[in-house]
Chain A
Amino acid sequence: MAAMSLSKALPRPRYSGEDEELPTHTQSRGSRVVGAEGLDDSQIVLKRSGPPPYGNRSGWRPRSAEDFGDGGAFPEVPVAQYPLDMGRKTTSSSNALAVQVDAEGKVKYDAIARRGHSDKRIIHSEFKDLIPLRQRADAGDISLEKPSEEEIEATRQRTQNALSTLIGGALAAQKPKNIKGTSRPAPTYVSYTPDDQMGEKSGGKTRIIKIVERQQDPMEPPKHKHKKIPRGPPSPPPPVMHSPPRKLTAEDQEMWKIPAAISNWKNAKGFTIPLDKRMASDGRGLQDVSINDKFAQFSEALMSADRHAREEVKQRALMQQKLAEKEKEQKEEHLRMLAQKAREDRSMAAGGRRMSSRSSRSRSSGRSRSRSVESYDSRRSDDSEQAAVRDRARMRKERREEHERELRQSRMGTERRLQQMAREQNRDISEKVALGVAKPTQSAESMYDSRLFNQTSGFDTGFNEDQAYDKPLFAAQDAINSIYRPSMNQDDDGEGADETMDKIQGSKRFDILGKADRGFKGADTAEARDGPVQFEKDRDDPFGIDQMISDVKTGGKRYGMVESETRGSKRARVDDDEA
């Protein structure tokens, strides 16, 4: 009723929507088909961009970008407007940032670093953040003073409050109160009077229904599975405020080259490792052996001391020799003096006696002196002659003795001569034996290296660490067992024990070599003989040679291999052997 009255009160709507014709300026601006007669009155074409002037805007709606004409939205037109496409929800998913400027109109280049972070976040992104603070002109007075107690207390209070809620939540989560299945509400009772249903009469009986909550297993694992929510896109990393790392030079690389460890015990992959690498790996070459300088000094000092001592000893020996010589000389001198003195004394004494006959004496002495000089000369010649004579005599004697010996030897027997020769070569020990000095070696065995005898088990068989024993310990056991025990296949003949025993006893296993109780096969048919083997003259032709010759002579031709008899005989022989 009220709505009806309202619609009556209001004027008719200007645009009903159905039969509305769009204004000309909002109609499509495509090419218009104009008739030939219409050309005249529409020659002037006004190309217009931008909004229509005021007054002509009734029903005009700005749609495209040029409708705005570099301007903003029209607040009098009540439609959603997007001048310069601002605010339009685009479907394109470009994550390019819009350029932002600060209060002074400078572009904020750190917008990309701030994206996704809160405004409170401190991001050092400018070059001035690299400059030390005390060199920065715009830093002003830098106050690094400690905050006051009140500020600290306020901060503490705020933080404590914030944390206490967190702690409370964490603690509450630690001890869950509502474990399912523990609380069971009391059953509810409902009185129920069923209606008549489908023509069926219930009779109006009232029933009381007890409603109990279904019991739940408190230990039942949750039916859902906790799933990790994938992480959102990370916030942009902080700007890097240091220079890039230095390029690694070849020298640095060389410095960091660490040779692979090579074990002397393990080589699982079985690489062939050069010997120099193996040597390098044990680090032996890394430390250079430096011998203390004092070793050299010490040996030098030793050598010089030795030389010095030798020199001294030599000097002393020389001195002693000289002294001894001197002493000897002195002694000789002394002796000579004594002799002189004695001679003089004697001569003095003789002079006293021969004072009377001095003249004769002097004569005789003169003569004797002359003769003594003479005799001295002759004596020298005599001496050489006598020595020669002696030599000759000696040689003669030696030769004679030699002859005698040869004569004796020639008369000696061979044994004696050998003995003699042995004695000459110092090989005769008969005297030593007689004296009991030479004894024969007590045991003959100890003379020999036992390893030389049994060479198959000696050193030359090869030393094998895997097998310390060259033959099994119970190698003989098998043989022993098989010797003294009846074997299985002998048993299963079904013979009696006695028979087996007889068989074992009867069978001779060990033949005496060369005296076989059984001869070769076929030989046992031969009769025993006494005396040498007697051959018989061959009468028939065992090999069929005559036959063959006669065949050849008669010229009977034979083709192929007719060897059935020989083959048969061969096979027979083989069978014979095997039997």
Chain B
Amino acid sequence: MDQNPDSLKEGRQWWWYSSRLETGGNGMFSRKGGLNLRFEEEGCCFLVGISLFQTSSTRIDRNRNIFSRTSATLERIPSKSPRPVFHPPWKIDRVISGHLGWVTSIAFDPSNAWFCTGSADRTIKIWDAGSGRQKLTLTGHLEQILGLAVSAKHTNMFSAGDDKQVKCWDLEQNKVIRSYHGHLSGVYCLSLHPTIDILMTGGRDSVCRVWDIRSRAQIFALSGHGNTVCSVFARAMDPQVVTGSHDSTIKLWDLRMGKTMSTLTHHKKSVRAMAVHPREQCFASASADNIKKFGLPKGEFCHNMLFQHRTIINSMAVNEEGVLAAGGDNGSLWFWDWKSGRSFQQAQTIVQPGSLDSEAGIYALFYDQSGSRLITCEADKTIKMWKQDENATPETHPLH
């Protein structure tokens, strides 16, 4: 405490501060420049230091020379949180009941005409997006289906299940035409590359496997995670694969080399859901402690979402308007403003009649291609469609 931070080198200084952080609590120390730095513990899990500058800007200017020279790391903009944008609240529009088990995965057709859901009853059902009627039931998996994707370029659908199988369905014949063999345990997530014909699957063998769709050859086994890989998404630009795992890390992968580009260790609990923004180069990752946003080429930490969901988040999705929907294991469905990180609606699903209250749980959610409808797959064996309230205005639903 009596050490003068000026005399410290920068790197050593962050050690010093971080050690202060690790000792926890709210440490406060003052420097001779009249500058107060306070470290606050935000919520229950993540320590974010917020420096409160003196209000007088002249004082800051006086100190800036010393300050920028010595500890540029601590220089922060006081509060540049963007104003939250108004989004109309979402309402349940339709409940589709047809599966005989938990509905665990969903994917939308690129033409926005239909969507498919995979369930714990080992079937994939294809539904008409407009009417909500069932069009088809596909059987073939031996266990629950945990990952689904529809190819935008070919008439193919991909499914991955707890039975270690990854299948490619031809939607013209409604048959399995390829099977990607290699996972040593259940497959938990699946993603298609947007520009190249490759397929990424992550599973309980803590490996993300990259498959060539056409030849069924495994190109890479992206290993490095210490636990189940439970979320994956692919991008057109580097890093082209991002995986989240139960070992509470996120890894960005260099697809050309099959090597890790970076490991993000900001989360404290397993990262079960990730959502990549359709326009911006950033993504959000959800774990039981927080939802965090990361910038993408480098994986720099953008910010936390401002409230705590306080449940296991199974799935997340974001649409072009910047509405991030996060579905919790207790049936809570929170809607967030992407930019500001505020939650503007905290909904709770209602279980279908005949279910237990404990069967409220959202396992997967997906926006349709236009982003105007949200579809949730739930533990009460139903699929629910949510729509925005058209009559809502900022006057009727003011931002608090």
User: 0/1 per residue, B272-294, Cβ < 8 Å to A?
Assistant: 00000101111000000000000
Q: Which residues of A contact B240 (CB under 8 A)?
A: 155, 159
Which residue of chain A has its CB nearest to the CB of B224? A235
Q: Which residues of A contact B257 (CB under 8 A)?
A: 162
The interface-forming segment of A128-136, A266-274, A554-562 is: A128-136
Distance, CA A133 to CA B302, complexed state (A): 4
Distance, CA A156 to CA B304, complexed state (A): 32
Interface flag for A50 (CB, 8 Å): no
A141 CB, nearest partner CB in chain B, Å: 12
Q: Which residues of A contact B177 (CB under 8 A)?
A: none
Interface flag for B121 (CB, 8 Å): no
B13 CB, nearest partner CB in chain A, Å: 8
The answer to whether B268 and A121 touch across the interface, beta carbons within 8 angstroms, is no
Q: Which residues of A contact B266 (CB under 8 A)?
A: 130, 241-242
User: 0/1 per residue, A80-123, Cβ < 8 Å to B?
Assistant: 00000000000000000000000000111100000000101111
Interface flag for B219 (CB, 8 Å): yes
B247 CB, nearest partner CB in chain A, Å: 11
User: 0/1 per residue, A154-166, Cβ < 8 Å to B?
Assistant: 0110111011001
A100 CB, nearest partner CB in chain B, Å: 11
Interface flag for B152 (CB, 8 Å): no
The answer to whether B265 and A131 touch across the interface, beta carbons within 8 angstroms, is no
The answer to whether B47 and A243 touch across the interface, beta carbons within 8 angstroms, is yes
The answer to whether A129 and B11 touch across the interface, beta carbons within 8 angstroms, is no
Distance, CA A133 to CA B45, complexed state (A): 19
The answer to whether A166 and B219 touch across the interface, beta carbons within 8 angstroms, is yes
The answer to whether A145 and B281 touch across the interface, beta carbons within 8 angstroms, is yes
A383 CB, nearest partner CB in chain B, Å: 92
Interface flag for A9 (CB, 8 Å): no
Distance, CA A392 to CA B179, complexed state (A): 126
The answer to whether A159 and B304 touch across the interface, beta carbons within 8 angstroms, is no
Q: Which residues of B contact A186 (CB under 8 A)?
A: none
Which residues of A48-107 are within 8 A (CB) of B? 106-107
User: 0/1 per residue, B83-94, Cβ < 8 Å to A?
Assistant: 000000000000
Q: How many of A's residues come within 8 Å of B, CB to CB? A: 52
Which residues of B55-109 are within 8 A (CB) of A? 72-82
The answer to whether A243 and B46 touch across the interface, beta carbons within 8 angstroms, is yes
Interface flag for A240 (CB, 8 Å): yes
The answer to whether A121 and B215 touch across the interface, beta carbons within 8 angstroms, is no
Q: Which residues of B contact A170 (CB under 8 A)?
A: 212, 215, 217-219
The answer to whether A124 and B262 touch across the interface, beta carbons within 8 angstroms, is yes
The answer to whether A134 and B256 touch across the interface, beta carbons within 8 angstroms, is no
The answer to whether B196 and A133 touch across the interface, beta carbons within 8 angstroms, is no
User: 0/1 per residue, B24-53, Cβ < 8 Å to A?
Assistant: 100000000000000001001111111000
Q: Which residues of A contact B262 (CB under 8 A)?
A: 121-124, 238
Distance, CA A171 to CA B217, complexed state (A): 7
Which residues of A129-157 are within 8 A (CB) of B? 129-138, 142-147, 151-152, 155-156
Interface flag for A505 (CB, 8 Å): no
Distance, CA A246 to CA B300, complexed state (A): 25
Contact of B11 among A109, A145, A244 (CB under 8 A): A109
Interface flag for B117 (CB, 8 Å): no
Task: Assess A167 versus B212: contact at CB under 8 Å? Given A122-B299, A144-B282, A241-B265.
Answer: yes
Distance, CA A135 to CA B293, complexed state (A): 14
Interface flag for A327 (CB, 8 Å): no
Interface flag for B345 (CB, 8 Å): no
The interface-forming segment of B15-23, B138-146, B361-369, B388-396 is: B15-23
Interface flag for A174 (CB, 8 Å): yes
Distance, CA A239 to CA B48, complexed state (A): 16
Which residue of chain B has its CB nearest to the CB of A136? B76
The answer to whether A132 and B302 touch across the interface, beta carbons within 8 angstroms, is yes
Interface flag for B252 (CB, 8 Å): yes
Interface flag for A295 (CB, 8 Å): no
A250 CB, nearest partner CB in chain B, Å: 17
Distance, CA A208 to CA B238, complexed state (A): 67
Task: Assess A144 versus B295: contact at CB under 8 Å? Given A136-B76, A243-B46.
Answer: yes
The answer to whether A130 and B198 touch across the interface, beta carbons within 8 angstroms, is no
Interface flag for B113 (CB, 8 Å): no
The answer to whether A240 and B237 touch across the interface, beta carbons within 8 angstroms, is no
Task: Assess A144 versus B280: contact at CB under 8 Å? Given A107-B9, A123-B262, A135-B76.
Answer: yes
Task: Assess A132 versus B217: contact at CB under 8 Å? Given A152-B237, A163-B196.
Answer: no
Q: Which residues of A contact B46 (CB under 8 A)?
A: 242-243
Interface flag for B184 (CB, 8 Å): no
Which residue of chain B has its CB nearest to the CB of A138? B72
Interface flag for B349 (CB, 8 Å): no
A159 CB, nearest partner CB in chain B, Å: 6
The answer to whether B281 and A144 touch across the interface, beta carbons within 8 angstroms, is yes
The answer to whether B77 and A106 touch across the interface, beta carbons within 8 angstroms, is no
Q: Which residues of A contact B302 (CB under 8 A)?
A: 132-134
The answer to whether A156 and B236 touch across the interface, beta carbons within 8 angstroms, is yes
Distance, CA A146 to CA B320, complexed state (A): 13
Distance, CA A108 to CA B9, complexed state (A): 11
Distance, CA A159 to CA B300, complexed state (A): 24
The answer to whether A155 and B76 touch across the interface, beta carbons within 8 angstroms, is no
A251 CB, nearest partner CB in chain B, Å: 14
Q: Which residues of B contact A160 (CB under 8 A)?
A: 196
B180 CB, nearest partner CB in chain A, Å: 13
Q: Which residues of B contact A413 (CB under 8 A)?
A: none
Q: Which residues of B contact A174 (CB under 8 A)?
A: 217
Which residue of chain A has its CB nearest to the CB of B10? A106
Interface flag for B14 (CB, 8 Å): yes
Contact of A124 among B74, B259, B299 (CB under 8 A): B299
Distance, CA A128 to CA B11, complexed state (A): 11
Contact of A145 among B198, B215, B280 (CB under 8 A): B280
Task: Assess A132 versus B301: contact at CB under 8 Å? Given A107-B12, A108-B11.
Answer: yes
The answer to whether B196 and A130 touch across the interface, beta carbons within 8 angstroms, is no
Distance, CA A99 to CA B262, complexed state (A): 23
The answer to whether B80 and A135 touch across the interface, beta carbons within 8 angstroms, is yes
Q: Which residues of A contact B24 (CB under 8 A)?
A: 243
The answer to whether B44 and A159 touch across the interface, beta carbons within 8 angstroms, is no
Distance, CA A270 to CA B45, complexed state (A): 45
The answer to whether A243 and B76 touch across the interface, beta carbons within 8 angstroms, is no
The answer to whether A242 and B45 touch across the interface, beta carbons within 8 angstroms, is yes
Interface flag for B298 (CB, 8 Å): yes
A162 CB, nearest partner CB in chain B, Å: 4
Interface flag for B195 (CB, 8 Å): yes
A401 CB, nearest partner CB in chain B, Å: 90
Distance, CA A123 to CA B9, complexed state (A): 20
The answer to whether A127 and B17 touch across the interface, beta carbons within 8 angstroms, is yes
Task: Assess A146 versus B279: contact at CB under 8 Å? Given A241-B264, A241-B266.
Answer: yes
A–B Cβ pairs within 8 angstroms, 13 of them: A107-B12, A122-B298, A124-B301, A127-B18, A128-B72, A131-B73, A137-B77, A158-B256, A159-B196, A159-B240, A162-B257, A238-B249, A240-B265
Residues of B within 8 A of A (CB): 9-12, 14-15, 17-18, 21-22, 24, 41, 44-50, 72-82, 195-196, 198, 212, 215, 217-220, 236-238, 240, 249, 252, 254-257, 259-268, 277, 279-282, 295-296, 298-304
Question: Closest 3 interchain pairs by CB?
Answer: A127-B14, A122-B262, A132-B303
Residues of A within 8 A of B (CB): 106-109, 118, 120-124, 126-138, 142-147, 151-152, 155-156, 158-160, 162-163, 166-167, 170-171, 174, 238-246
New contact pairs (19) apart from A121-B262, A124-B299, CB-CB < 8 Å: A109-B12, A124-B264, A126-B73, A130-B47, A130-B49, A132-B48, A134-B302, A135-B79, A137-B72, A145-B281, A146-B280, A155-B236, A156-B236, A163-B256, A166-B220, A167-B219, A238-B262, A242-B267, A243-B45
